[in-house]
Amino acid sequence: MTHLTLQAVTKRFNTAYAVDHVDLSVPDGKLVCFLGPSGCGKTTLLRMIAGLETPSSGSVTFAGRDITHLPANQRDFGMVFQSLALFPHMSVAENIAYPLRLRKTGKAAQGHRVAELLDLIQLPHMANRPVTQLSGGQRQRVAIARAIASSPKLLLLDEPLSALDAKLREAMQVEIRLLQQRLGITTIMVTHDQREAMTMADEIVVMEKGRIAQVGRPLDIYRDPVSEFVADFIGLGNILPVTHDGRGGVSLPGGQQIVVVNPSYVPESTGDIRLLIRPEDVCVKPASTTSDPNHLAGTVTFIRDVGATLEATIECAGFSLTAATTPRETPGLALGMPVLAELPAHACKLIAARLVH
Ligand code: ATP
């Protein structure tokens, strides 16, 4: 069942389009991430779903009802913002109980629900502590407990983890995801962090300049991006300029032939194509002379060895490649070393070049 539907939702600020004709269906019980660079319209889109911003045109439907012009306080959605906006003069329990008080829930039911939520966020012993005396991660959990206190049908999160340090942020990503799955609450989260989106989302909506560039499951988008913009935004990628060679293959600017999985690919919007190969698909071999397609001679110019994984930059004729490997797979790899990089044909894919607006 589709819970939330956006139809041609558009928001103009004066003459600029912050969100431009967005169509989207958010399935029931899923976690969907709006992902994209700063200024692409993620927050504006979320605010229109929340009712904090009115669309210039288009409609928002929730559970079969048109809510485009319904005030935010009548939507019954839970929200957590970047700032968290906890009430500093209240205790943990008072903060969580706040939406219940607004709804005039009885005292006993309030107490029961708050206790339940404190258990859920694993802070049962902190009910009476002022929120100002909590760590960043604890505050985060309280903000989420408050947002879900009145059992909203939709949870909206706008960069809720951006104030946390890297380690805590990763822990909270898992925590929120597990909580969301346990409660089965439909959730939309805004982030500009692709790793965060990959970790948490059932579906990612990649946005570019107010429009949806691609929607799909994280790994599907990673493996099958529709354009250079998406490929570049989701994960590391080697994106190289190539041209059709007229013989069913493609060639790099230096003339090296590359066999690809989709040789007859022609992009819809521009004639330019790019070759995409992910770093983990590049095989680094000892240098040797070969004229086989998909083998490129190069020199190792940078190595990032972090123990479990190793990332090498290989300078080839006129471009560089990144290869992700492990110290075990490529022992003895060293700076300045000549190598042969194999780009297996099954991992080489043609995609559309970034659109120039
Ligand atoms: P970030 O990741 O930086 O928060 P975002 O993807 O969430 O960015 P939005 O905040 O939705 O982007 O902004 C989209 C565009 O709309 C930007 O160009 C922004 O300057 C513009 N914009 C947003 N709110 C307003 C406003 N109230 N008045 C005028 N322009 C606005």
Tokens, residue 132: 């100002």
Using the mean position of ligand 1's atoms as its centre, give its distance from the Cα of residue 267 in Å: 30
* pLDDT tens digits for range 46-92: 999 999 999 999 999 999 999 999 998 888 898 888 776 788 889 99
Using the mean position of ligand 1's atoms as its centre, give its distance from the Cα of residue 250 in Å: 40
Q: Which residues partner with 257 through β-bridges?
A: 251
The pLDDT value given to residue 169:
83
The pLDDT value given to residue 289:
81
| Contact by Cβ (8 Å): 85, 103 | no
Segment of 135-144, 166-175, 201-210 carrying the highest mean pLDDT = 201-210
Q: In this structure, which residue's CA is closest to atom 30 in ligand 1?
A: 13
Residue 276 has pLDDT above 60, yes or no: yes
For residue 342, give the nearest of 289, 283, 297 by alpha carbon.
Answer: 283
The pLDDT value given to residue 84:
66
Residue 2 has pLDDT above 60, yes or no: no
Kindly state the greatest CA–CA separation across the chain.
Answer: 80
Q: In this structure, which residue's CA is closest to atom 29 in ligand 1?
A: 13
Q: Domains plus CATH for the chain? A: 2-223 (3.40.50.300), 236-352 (2.40.50.100)
Question: Between β-strands 2-13 and 16-27, what pairing exists: parallel, antiparallel or unpaired?
Answer: antiparallel
Pocket probe for ligand 1: among 20, 34, 44, the residue whose CB has the most ligand atoms within 8 Å is 44
The pLDDT value given to residue 137:
82
Using the mean position of ligand 1's atoms as its centre, give its distance from the Cα of residue 205 in Å: 17
Ligand 1 closest atom vs CA 190: 7
Tokens, residue 238: 């080697």
Using the mean position of ligand 1's atoms as its centre, give its distance from the Cα of residue 80 in Å: 18
